[in-house]
Protein backbone atom coordinates (compact mmCIF):
# COMPACT_ATOMS: atom_id res chain seq x y z
CA UNK A 1 0.00 0.00 0.00
CA UNK A 2 1.27 3.48 -0.77
CA UNK A 3 2.15 6.11 1.78
CA UNK A 4 -1.05 8.07 1.06
CA UNK A 5 -3.07 4.84 1.29
CA UNK A 6 -1.54 4.12 4.71
CA UNK A 7 -2.45 7.61 5.95
CA UNK A 8 -6.01 7.24 4.68
CA UNK A 9 -6.33 3.80 6.30
CA UNK A 10 -4.98 5.12 9.65
CA UNK A 11 -7.35 8.09 9.62
CA UNK A 12 -10.32 5.91 8.65
CA UNK A 13 -9.48 3.51 11.48
CA UNK A 14 -9.23 6.38 13.96
CA UNK A 15 -12.55 7.82 12.82
CA UNK A 16 -14.13 4.35 13.10
CA UNK A 17 -12.81 3.97 16.67
CA UNK A 18 -14.18 7.40 17.62
CA UNK A 19 -17.59 6.94 15.99
CA UNK A 20 -18.25 3.31 16.97
CA UNK A 21 -19.34 3.95 20.60
CA UNK A 22 -21.77 6.67 19.53
CA UNK A 23 -23.20 4.43 16.80
CA UNK A 24 -23.66 1.56 19.25
CA UNK A 25 -25.40 3.78 21.80
CA UNK A 26 -27.57 5.20 19.03
CA UNK A 27 -28.63 1.74 17.93
CA UNK A 28 -29.45 0.77 21.53
CA UNK A 29 -31.55 3.92 21.99
CA UNK A 30 -33.33 3.37 18.68
CA UNK A 31 -34.16 -0.26 19.52
CA UNK A 32 -35.31 0.82 22.98
CA UNK A 33 -37.54 3.49 21.46
CA UNK A 34 -39.15 0.92 19.14
CA UNK A 35 -39.58 -1.69 21.87
CA UNK A 36 -40.80 0.68 24.60
CA UNK A 37 -44.55 0.31 23.84
CA UNK A 38 -44.19 -3.47 23.93
CA UNK A 39 -42.18 -3.79 27.16
CA UNK A 40 -43.79 -0.91 29.12
CA UNK A 41 -46.52 -3.02 30.74
CA UNK A 42 -43.92 -5.43 32.15
CA UNK A 43 -41.90 -2.71 33.91
CA UNK A 44 -44.70 -2.13 36.41
CA UNK A 45 -44.22 -5.63 37.83
CA UNK A 46 -41.98 -5.79 40.92
CA UNK A 47 -40.24 -9.03 39.85
CA UNK A 48 -39.10 -7.47 36.55
CA UNK A 49 -37.77 -4.42 38.37
CA UNK A 50 -35.94 -6.70 40.83
CA UNK A 51 -34.27 -8.54 37.93
CA UNK A 52 -33.22 -5.25 36.32
CA UNK A 53 -31.78 -3.93 39.60
CA UNK A 54 -29.95 -7.23 40.14
CA UNK A 55 -28.42 -7.16 36.63
CA UNK A 56 -27.32 -3.55 37.11
CA UNK A 57 -25.71 -4.42 40.47
CA UNK A 58 -23.78 -7.30 38.87
CA UNK A 59 -22.64 -5.04 36.02
CA UNK A 60 -21.47 -2.32 38.45
CA UNK A 61 -19.56 -4.84 40.58
CA UNK A 62 -17.82 -6.32 37.52
CA UNK A 63 -16.89 -2.89 36.19
CA UNK A 64 -15.53 -1.76 39.56
CA UNK A 65 -13.38 -4.91 39.76
CA UNK A 66 -11.94 -4.22 36.33
CA UNK A 67 -11.11 -0.64 37.29
CA UNK A 68 -9.54 -1.69 40.59
CA UNK A 69 -7.09 -4.16 39.00
CA UNK A 70 -3.48 -3.17 39.34
CA UNK A 71 -1.33 -3.10 36.22
CA UNK A 72 1.26 -5.88 35.94
CA UNK A 73 4.66 -5.09 37.41
CA UNK A 74 7.60 -5.02 35.00
CA UNK A 75 9.94 -7.97 35.28
CA UNK A 76 13.69 -7.72 35.96
CA UNK A 77 14.70 -8.34 32.34
CA UNK A 78 12.54 -5.46 31.11
CA UNK A 79 13.89 -3.11 33.81
CA UNK A 80 17.49 -4.07 32.98
CA UNK A 81 16.91 -3.36 29.29
CA UNK A 82 15.23 -0.07 30.14
CA UNK A 83 17.86 1.30 32.52
CA UNK A 84 21.16 -0.41 31.65
CA UNK A 85 21.60 -0.42 27.87
CA UNK A 86 23.20 1.95 25.39
CA UNK A 87 21.02 4.42 23.47
CA UNK A 88 19.83 3.46 20.01
CA UNK A 89 21.10 5.46 17.06
CA UNK A 90 18.08 7.11 15.41
CA UNK A 91 17.39 6.32 11.76
CA UNK A 92 16.18 9.65 10.38
CA UNK A 93 13.83 9.53 7.42
CA UNK A 94 13.11 13.22 6.73
CA UNK A 95 10.57 14.30 4.12
CA UNK A 96 12.05 15.35 0.78
CA UNK A 97 10.35 18.76 0.79
CA UNK A 98 7.85 20.70 2.84
CA UNK A 99 4.39 19.35 2.18
CA UNK A 100 5.54 16.14 0.52
CA UNK A 101 3.07 15.30 -2.22
CA UNK A 102 1.04 18.40 -1.38
CA UNK A 103 3.94 20.80 -2.03
CA UNK A 104 1.76 23.09 -4.11
CA UNK A 105 -0.18 24.01 -0.93
CA UNK A 106 2.93 25.06 1.03
CA UNK A 107 3.51 28.77 1.58
CA UNK A 108 6.90 30.46 1.82
CA UNK A 109 6.57 30.70 5.61
CA UNK A 110 6.18 26.92 5.87
CA UNK A 111 9.17 26.37 3.55
CA UNK A 112 11.32 28.72 5.65
CA UNK A 113 10.23 27.01 8.89
CA UNK A 114 10.87 23.61 7.29
CA UNK A 115 14.40 24.65 6.26
CA UNK A 116 15.18 26.23 9.66
CA UNK A 117 14.50 22.96 11.45
CA UNK A 118 16.45 20.70 9.04
CA UNK A 119 19.07 19.84 11.69
CA UNK A 120 16.85 20.04 14.78
CA UNK A 121 16.81 16.29 15.56
CA UNK A 122 20.57 15.96 15.11
CA UNK A 123 21.20 18.94 17.39
CA UNK A 124 18.87 17.66 20.12
CA UNK A 125 20.34 14.15 19.91
CA UNK A 126 23.87 15.57 20.08
CA UNK A 127 22.92 17.56 23.20
CA UNK A 128 21.22 14.54 24.80
CA UNK A 129 24.29 12.36 24.15
CA UNK A 130 26.67 14.95 25.64
CA UNK A 131 28.78 13.85 28.59
CA UNK A 132 27.08 16.14 31.12
CA UNK A 133 23.52 15.34 30.07
CA UNK A 134 23.94 11.64 29.18
CA UNK A 135 20.26 11.10 28.52
CA UNK A 136 18.92 8.02 26.79
CA UNK A 137 16.06 9.91 25.10
CA UNK A 138 16.34 10.47 21.35
CA UNK A 139 14.43 12.13 18.53
CA UNK A 140 13.91 10.40 15.22
CA UNK A 141 12.61 12.38 12.27
CA UNK A 142 9.65 10.87 10.45
CA UNK A 143 8.78 11.15 6.75
CA UNK A 144 5.31 12.58 7.43
CA UNK A 145 5.10 16.36 7.07
CA UNK A 146 1.38 16.74 7.89
CA UNK A 147 1.46 17.55 11.61
CA UNK A 148 -2.27 17.84 12.19
CA UNK A 149 -3.06 16.25 15.57
CA UNK A 150 -6.61 16.13 16.90
CA UNK A 151 -7.63 19.38 15.24
CA UNK A 152 -10.37 20.35 12.84
CA UNK A 153 -9.68 19.20 9.27
CA UNK A 154 -11.67 21.99 7.65
CA UNK A 155 -8.66 24.26 7.14
CA UNK A 156 -6.55 21.67 5.32
CA UNK A 157 -3.16 20.24 6.22
CA UNK A 158 -0.69 21.82 8.61
CA UNK A 159 2.86 21.30 7.41
CA UNK A 160 6.02 20.90 9.45
CA UNK A 161 8.40 18.23 10.66
CA UNK A 162 7.33 15.18 12.65
CA UNK A 163 9.51 13.45 15.22
CA UNK A 164 9.24 10.24 17.15
CA UNK A 165 10.46 10.61 20.73
CA UNK A 166 11.80 7.41 22.24
CA UNK A 167 14.03 6.09 24.95
CA UNK A 168 16.53 3.42 24.10
CA UNK A 169 15.75 -0.06 25.29
* Three-state SS at 96: coil
The proportion of the chain whose per-residue pLDDT surpasses 70, expressed as a percent, equals 73
The region of weakest confidence among 13-17, 24-28, 116-120, 151-155 is 151-155
**Residues for the chain: how many in total?**
169
Query: Angle between the 46-68 and 3-43 helix axes, to the nearest 10 degrees?
Result: 150
pLDDT surpassing 70 at residue 157: no
pLDDT band at 98 (very low <50, low <70, confident <90, very high): low
Q: How far apart are CA 99 and CA 114, in angstroms?
A: 9
pLDDT at 34: 87
pLDDT surpassing 60 at residue 1: no
pTM of structure: 0.41
Asked if 81 and 129 touch (Cβ cutoff 8 Å), the reply is no
pLDDT at 93: 65
pLDDT surpassing 80 at residue 30: yes
User: Over the stretch 31-82, which tens digit does the pLDDT of each residue have?
Assistant: 888 888 887 777 777 887 788 888 889 888 888 887 777 777 888 888 887 7
**Element counts in the chain: helices (H) and strands (E):** 5, 2
The proportion of the chain whose per-residue pLDDT surpasses 90, expressed as a percent, equals 0
Amino acid sequence: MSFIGDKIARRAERIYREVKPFAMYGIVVLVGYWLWPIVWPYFSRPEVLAVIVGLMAIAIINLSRQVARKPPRPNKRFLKKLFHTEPITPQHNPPKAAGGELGFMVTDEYRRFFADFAEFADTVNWWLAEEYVASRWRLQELPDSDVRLNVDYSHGPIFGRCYAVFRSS
